[in-house]
Amino acid sequence: MIKVIVAGFMGSMGQKTVEMIKQTDDFQLVAGLGPHAQEIDKSEYHLADDVQVFDQLNKVETDADVWVDFTLPNSAFENVKFAIEHGIHPVVGTSGMSDAHLTELTQLAAEKHVGGLIAPNFGLSAVLLMKFAQEAAKYFPDAEVIEMHHEDKLDAPSGTAISTAKMIAEAREQNPSASKTEATIDGARGGDVEGVPVHSVRLPGYVAHEQVLFGGSGEALTIRQDSFDRSSFMSGVKIAIPAVIKETSLMIGLENIL
In this structure, which amino acid lies at residue 75?
S
- Measured from the CB atom, the residue of 49 and 173 that comes closer to a second copy is 173
| Cα distances (angstroms) measured from residue 19 to each of 2, 23, 25, 72, 141 | 15, 6, 12, 21, 42
Would you give the distance in Å from CA 157 to the centre of its chain?
17
User: CB neighbours of 48 closer than 8 A, spacing ≥ 6?
Assistant: 29, 42
Q: Give the Cα separation of 90 and 76 in Å (integer).
A: 10
Instruction: Find the shortest distance in angstroms from Cβ 97 to a second copy.
Output: 19
Closest by CA position to 142, among listed 212, 51, 238, 56: 212
Q: Which is nearer to a second copy, 39 or 205 (CB)?
A: 205
Closer residue to a second copy (CB): 57 or 128: 128
Closer residue to a second copy in complex, CB, 48/220: 220
Catalytic residue at 149? yes
Q: Are 133 and 143 in contact (CB under 8 A)?
A: yes
**Among the listed residues 4, 2, 1, the one whose alpha carbon sits nearest the alpha carbon of residue 90:** 4
Tell me whether residue 81 or residue 202 sits nearer to a second copy (CB atom): 202
Candidate list 149, 199, 209, 238, residue with the active-site label? 149
For a second copy, give the closer residue by CB, 110 or 207: 207
Active site residue 138: no
Q: How far is CA 247 from CA 9, 147, 257, in A?
A: 25, 33, 9
Distance of closest approach, residue 135 Cβ to a second copy, in angstroms: 7
> What CA–CA distance (Å, rounded) separates 154 from 144?
22
- How many of the other CB atoms lie within 10 Å of CB of 151? 10
CA 115, 25, 124, 171 torsion: positive or negative?
Answer: positive
Residue 150 CB contacts under 8 Å (≥ 6 apart), including other chains: 202, 203, 204, 205, 206, 207, 208
Task: Enumerate the active-site residues.
Answer: 149, 153
